[in-house]
């Protein structure tokens, strides 16, 4: 059992240099935990600078190298399994997204079992739950078994495997399923934060017909830690906000940054099939991050809505996320005040 009163608790955070990882590490330190952070390359200054500034122990580990995970987990009480390949496009999706999701999950659990870890908090995604087409809110009982987009399918398959292995190995695991994570404190853009980079740079020409379920990274971090500390926490917990159409997001941005030139016209429906090609050309000529693929169009530009029932985490863990207006404002400020790389 993890007792939050005991400040000698040792926890390891995988993927600690990512957006969520940095915020989880920071929140853990505020609560007095002894934190070990894992990164894939100790010599990459860009990926370690924030962690070094926090003063945490940093070790090298790779999801695809179980022995490196065993070395990282030795002597720890709890694990926050955050490491993942979060990309909408890559030249090798099998290696960059699916293998870290599937093989990485298996390796983490088997390494945790060998190291006698007391509790694991696993980061999944609402992509593993799926969007709604019928106006019904989805909850932790739902699964995205018909996922069309590669990342969503990988997250769904990985979490399915997670619960199979948890049963086989008799591990204490809780999974957190965040919506589209925004908020401050990051060194590299994710596909979620990159939209706001483009807004700040006035590089969004038209409004996509999509509804996002945004959530602040700081609230997701707190959910992870509360799940660790609450002995009764069990199963899956969705951490997501109310669905917001892209037009609403733009309206919020316009209030806090009225000087920005923001899109006013929707993308014509006849252009939907061409969006992946246009996205590819933009990336080719400007170096921008690829965020729209055929899978993304099939998964999210089909009239579906990211609408989730979060009553479980609100009732069981007393989760109280901040306003999304504040999160958007803080995201824009962070981007404006920091030179963020594309990862």
* Domains recognised in the chain with CATH numbers: 10-200+210-246+305-337 (3.40.50.720)
Distance CA 119, CA 234 (A): 11
Decide if pLDDT at 252 tops 80. yes
Q: Quick one: pLDDT band at residue 2, thresholds 50, 70, 90?
A: low
Tell me what the pLDDT averaged over the chain comes to. Answer: 90
User: Which residues is 61 bridged to in the sheet?
Assistant: none
Tokens representing 27 are 């929140």
pLDDT of residue 340 exceeding 80: no
Query: The tokens of 308 are what?
Result: 């989730």
Average pLDDT over residues 113-123: 97
Q: Is the pLDDT of residue 295 over 80?
A: no
CA 149 → CA 145, 249, 292, distances in Å? Answer: 11, 23, 10
The two tokens of residue 106 are: 């298996």
Mean pLDDT of 230-239: 97
d(Cα 292, Cα 185) in Å, to the nearest integer? Answer: 25
Give one word for 188, left, alpha or beta, with left for phi > 0 and alpha for psi -120 to 50: beta
Q: Say which residues have a Cβ less than 8 Å from residue 101's Cβ, sequence separation at least 6.
A: 84, 85, 154, 155, 157, 158
Contact at 8 Å (CB) between 243 and 182?
A: no
Q: What is the pLDDT of residues 261-274, one digit of tens each?
A: 999 999 888 888 88
Which residue's entry shows tokens 């030795």? Answer: 74
For residues 59 and 183, give the distance between their C-alpha atoms in angstroms, rounded to a whole number: 26
pLDDT confidence of residue 4: 55
Beta bridge mates, 150: none
Tell me phi and psi for residue 59, to 5 degrees.
-130, 160
The whole-angstrom separation of Cα 118 and Cα 137 is 33
For the cut 80, the answer to whether the pLDDT of residue 37 exceeds it is yes
Burial profile 192-213: b = 16 or more Cβ within 10 angstroms, e = fewer: bbbbbbbbbeeebeebbbbbbb
Q: Is the pLDDT of residue 168 over 90?
A: yes
> 219 pLDDT exceeds 80?
yes
Note the pLDDT of residue 196.
93
**pLDDT greater at residue 41 or residue 122:** 122
Is the pLDDT reported for residue 68 higher than 60?
yes
Lowest mean pLDDT among 52-56, 109-113, 161-165, 337-341: 337-341
The pLDDT value recorded for residue 273 is 85
What is the Cα–Cα distance from 99 to 89, expressed in whole angstroms?
15
pLDDT value of position 91: 67
Has residue 90 got a pLDDT over 70? no
Which tens digit of pLDDT belongs to each residue from 182-207? 999 998 888 889 999 999 999 998 89
Q: Is the pLDDT of residue 92 over 80?
A: no
Rounded Cα–Cα distance for residues 305 and 240 (Å) = 13
Q: What is the pLDDT, as a whole number, of residue 342? A: 60
Given a cut of 60, whether residue 1 has pLDDT beyond it is no
Q: Give me the pLDDT at residue 129, please.
A: 95
pLDDT at residue 116 is higher than 80: yes
260 by DSSP, 3-state: which? coil
Residue 211 to residue 117: CA distance in whole angstroms = 39
Band of the pLDDT at 86, cuts 50, 70, 90? low
pLDDT at 190: 87
More confident residue, 262 or 133: 262
Residue 88: pLDDT above 60? no
């Amino acid at each position: 059992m993890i007792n939050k009163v005991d400040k000698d608790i040792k926890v390891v955070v995988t993927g600690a240099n990512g957006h969520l990882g940095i915020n989880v590490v920071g929140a853990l330190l505020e609560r007095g935990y002894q934190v070990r952070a894992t990164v894939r390359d100790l010599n990459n200054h860009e990926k370690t600078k924030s962690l070094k500034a926090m003063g945490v122990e940093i070790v090298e580990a790779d999801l695809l190298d179980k022995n490196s995970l065993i070395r990282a987990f030795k002597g720890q009480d709890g694990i926050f399994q955050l490491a993942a390949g979060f990309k909408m496009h890559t030249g090798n999706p099998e290696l960059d997204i699916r293998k870290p999701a599937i093989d990485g999950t298996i390796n983490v659990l088997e390494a945790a079992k060998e190291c006698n870890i007391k509790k694991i908090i696993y980061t999944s995604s609402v992509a593993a739950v799926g969007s709604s087409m019928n106006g019904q809110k989805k909850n932790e009982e739902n699964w995205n078994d018909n996922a069309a987009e590669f990342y969503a399918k990988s997250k769904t398959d990985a979490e399915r495997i997670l619960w199979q292995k948890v049963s086989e190995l008799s591990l204490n695991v809780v999974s957190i399923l965040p919506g589209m994570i925004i908020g401050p404190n990051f060194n590299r853009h994710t596909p979620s934060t990159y939209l706001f980079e483009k807004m700040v740079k006035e590089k969004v020409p038209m409004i996509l017909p999509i509804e996002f379920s945004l959530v602040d990274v700081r609230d997701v971090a707190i959910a992870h830690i509360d799940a660790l500390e609450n002995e009764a926490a069990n199963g899956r917990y969705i951490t997501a906000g109310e669905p917001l159409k892209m037009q609403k997001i733009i309206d919020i941005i316009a209030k806090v940054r009225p000087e920005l030139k923001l899109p006013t016209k929707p993308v014509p429906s006849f252009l939907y099939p061409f969006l992946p090609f246009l996205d590819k050309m933009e990336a080719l000529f400007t170096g921008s991050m690829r965020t729209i693929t055929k899978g993304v169009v099939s998964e999210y530009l089909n009239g579906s809505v990211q609408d989730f029932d979060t009553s479980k985490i609100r009732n069981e863990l007393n989760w109280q996320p901040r306003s999304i207006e504040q999160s958007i404002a803080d995201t824009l400020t962070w981007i404006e005040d920091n030179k963020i790389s594309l990862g």
